[in-house]
Amino acid sequence: MISRALTAAGLAVTLLSGCAVNPVTGKQELSLISQGQEVALGEKQYPITQQQQGGEYVVDKSLQDYVSRVGQKLARVSDQPQLPYEFVVLNNGTPNAWALPGGKIAVNRGLLTLLEDEAELAAVLGHEIVHAAARHSAAAMSQQQVLGAGLAVLGAATQSTGYGDLVSLGGQLGGSAYIARHGRGDELEADKYGMRYMAAAGYNPQGAVELQRKFVKLSEGSQSGGLAALFASHPPSQARVDANIAHAKKLSSGGATNRAAYQQAIAQLKRDADAYATYDKALAAVKEKQYDRALNLTRQAQRQQPREAAFFQLEGDLLAQKEQYQAAHGAYDKAVQKNPGLFSHWLKRGLMSAQLNNYTDAERDLTRSMRYLETPHAHYFLGQVYEKQGNVQTAYGHYQTAAKAGGEIGTKAQARMQALGNKG
Ligand SMILES: [Zn+2]
């Protein structure tokens, strides 16, 4: 959705930076922002987008290294090897992958379990590398969109503010999925040059053909929400399969598929398939408001894989919903210990401490959550903590920030500001 004002702003920027050569195709193209700006945007947005989508997958950290190695091998033979490429596996069951400007790339665990070998993984990563190297995002994503993410977006999508409403809060915090939308032309270009990178890095480019065949087959079957989301950004078609077959014919077909290495790398994910399936059923039960069933299911998932923090976070949400705050605090405590790198574990444990009138612990946890992701929730509840402690001025500042996010929490923050203002 492009507003008139945004278009005018875009034109002004275009006049400044003008035309640029596409580093992959060599064609002259309009460029809205400089490559330096793109790299800076990607660097800033990468950790934020990761946090909003489940954070890093940490149950098997060796999988991160493996995916990075494959990605860097391809990046080195790309048309822009000097970009600060990074690759991360996200703890997200939706089969998706994306690239931010400047070479910041993510692939969800939900996509990795659908792939057969390293050549197919190379097809996914090579495709995303082209999006970054050819600067597709500079055209597809307005600067406004990139800069606007974070606090404001999270605020707008969020309706819930009560301590007891963490179930719905959980869904909103995790649900604001970023899905890059590229045009058909960019998609074909990403396939074509991605296959060249595959061949140059020693992979059999046939992997890109197999990948698209798989997607066509999956899209013909019953589409779950996750698959539908993937195909909205990467529409599968026989035409795309055919185009990839034609490209493969022009490239050396002798490359590696490394099936054994790939299967070894995702072995833990495969062993945990039942645990994540149980967790997905629990999430579905939450949507149906079957909270007891959801609680049983997430506890079953915990028994299947005790190291997955998400299973304990959901248990905490469901206990908080039952107003069992002490038990909910205990569940969040486990989530924090199993994965201290995700903002929501700290945020929710902090909310429970506030609910249990332990303001020192609440302040520490809410503040810590903002190191990972700044949310209007952390600001609003920090406001409450400081207000309870009699620190009205600091409380007011946090309410002010929360109010800027708008939505229900913004309105509540505004009400508190008014109440405090009237007192003084
Ligand atoms: Zn794409």
Q: How far is the CA of 27 from the centre of ligand 1 (A)?
A: 19
From the CB of residue 271, how many other CB atoms can be counted at a distance below 10 Å? 12
**Predicted model pTM:** 0.86
Q: For residue 320, what are its two tokens?
A: 């908080």
Query: Angle 164-363-178 (CA atoms, 0-180°, nearest 5)?
Result: 65
Q: Using CB atoms within 10 A of its CB, is residue 303 exposed (0-12), middle (13-18) or buried (19+)?
A: exposed
H-helix or E-strand spanning residue 129? helix 118-133
Sequence-distant (6+) residues with CB within 8 A of 136 are: 130, 182, 186, 189, 190
Phi/psi-derived region of residue 9, left when phi > 0, alpha when psi is between -120 and 50, beta in every other case: alpha
pLDDT at 11: 37
* pLDDT tens, the chain, 424 aa long: 333 333 333 333 333 445 677 888 887 776 667 888 889 888 988 999 899 889 999 999 999 999 999 999 999 999 999 999 999 999 999 888 989 889 999 999 999 999 999 999 999 999 999 998 888 766 555 444 444 444 433 433 333 444 444 554 544 444 444 555 677 888 899 999 999 999 999 999 999 999 999 888 888 775 555 666 666 666 688 889 999 999 999 998 789 999 999 999 999 999 999 999 999 999 999 999 999 999 999 999 999 999 999 999 999 999 999 999 999 999 999 999 999 999 999 999 999 999 999 999 999 999 999 999 999 999 999 999 999 999 999 999 999 999 998 888 899 999 999 999 865 4
Q: How far is the CA of 376 from the centre of ligand 1 (A)?
A: 32
d(CA 29, CA 180): 20
Q: How far is the CA of 128 from the centre of ligand 1 (A)?
A: 6
d(CA 322, CA 333): 18
pLDDT at 1: 33
Q: How far is the CA of 173 from the centre of ligand 1 (A)?
A: 25
Q: How far is the CA of 135 from the centre of ligand 1 (A)?
A: 12
pLDDT at 147: 43
d(CA 88, CA 140): 22
Strands 86-90 and 104-108: parallel
pLDDT at 123: 97
What are residue 98's DSSP bridge partners?
A: 106
Q: How far is the CA of 340 from the centre of ligand 1 (A)?
A: 32
Q: How far is the CA of 78 from the centre of ligand 1 (A)?
A: 16
pLDDT at 210: 94
The type of residue at 336 is: V
* Cα torsion angle, 176, 153, 102, 89, sign: negative
The third-level CATH classification (topology) of the domain covering 271-423 is: 1.25.40
Q: How far is the CA of 359 from the centre of ligand 1 (A)?
A: 46
pLDDT at 34: 81
Q: How far is the CA of 296 from the centre of ligand 1 (A)?
A: 38
Q: How far is the CA of 182 from the centre of ligand 1 (A)?
A: 6
H-helix or E-strand spanning residue 192? helix 184-200
Q: How far is the CA of 188 from the centre of ligand 1 (A)?
A: 8
N-terminal to C-terminal alpha carbon distance within the chain: 44
Q: How far is the CA of 115 from the centre of ligand 1 (A)?
A: 17
The SS3 assignment for 387 reads helix
Parse the chain into domains and list their residue ranges.
Answer: 36-133+172-262, 271-423
